[in-house]
A = this chain, B = another copy of it.
Amino acid sequence: MRQAVDLKKAYRLLNHGPTVLVSSSHGGQRNVMAAAWSMPLDFEPPKVCVVIDKSTLTRALVEASGEFALNVPARALAAATVAVGSQSGRDGDKFAELGLATFAAERIAAPLLEGCVGWLECRVIAEPHNQQRYDLFIGEVVAAWADPADFSEGHWHFAPGRGRSIHYVAGGTFFETGDEFSVS
């Protein structure tokens, strides 16, 4: 299930540093890869950064389409996150091979992944020097969504079941998003 997230609050989907899945589409091809290196860049209009290596099919699709989506996977998608991070979309459609269901985005052509807790639809703000030298892409968030069981009215309240968002370390090891706490 999904509910629109106010664009002013969209940064909160990424502020705690979860690993994301980058989905993209161009000219009849679609792809998805994992990215631990992403972050919010601005509040309003919301912007994000993500590192997309030159060797990836995602890179070609993002550069050709000028769009990408950041999908925030729940722990139940951790194995899929590792799989889409190790296979290349050039060897076949990862969605089909891994049985990953998708639904249509609203403002971009890239598919969004079922089973995630949040989604950010982004348009690339072209910065050729960053892209070429650092593999660094900047996107403006043009629509944002969350599963209301996990995030609503600007706040996370992860539902039991599929697990919370996840934070990749290395070698197939993650941390799950842990206890929430507040300081005054």
Contacts and interface: CB of A to CB of B under 8 A. Distances in A.
A3 to B, nearest CB: 18
Contact of A172 (B39, B136, B156, B182): B182
Contacts of A127: 129-130
Contacts of A7: none
A42 interface: yes
A181 B176 contact: yes
Contacts of A130: 127, 130
Interface of A: 12, 15-19, 36-42, 47, 49, 51, 75, 78-79, 81-82, 127, 129-130, 134, 136, 138, 154-156, 164, 167-184
21 contacts: A15-B167, A17-B18, A17-B167, A37-B39, A39-B51, A40-B51, A41-B134, A42-B134, A75-B181, A78-B183, A129-B129, A130-B130, A167-B167, A167-B177, A171-B182, A172-B184, A173-B180, A174-B180, A174-B183, A175-B179, A176-B181
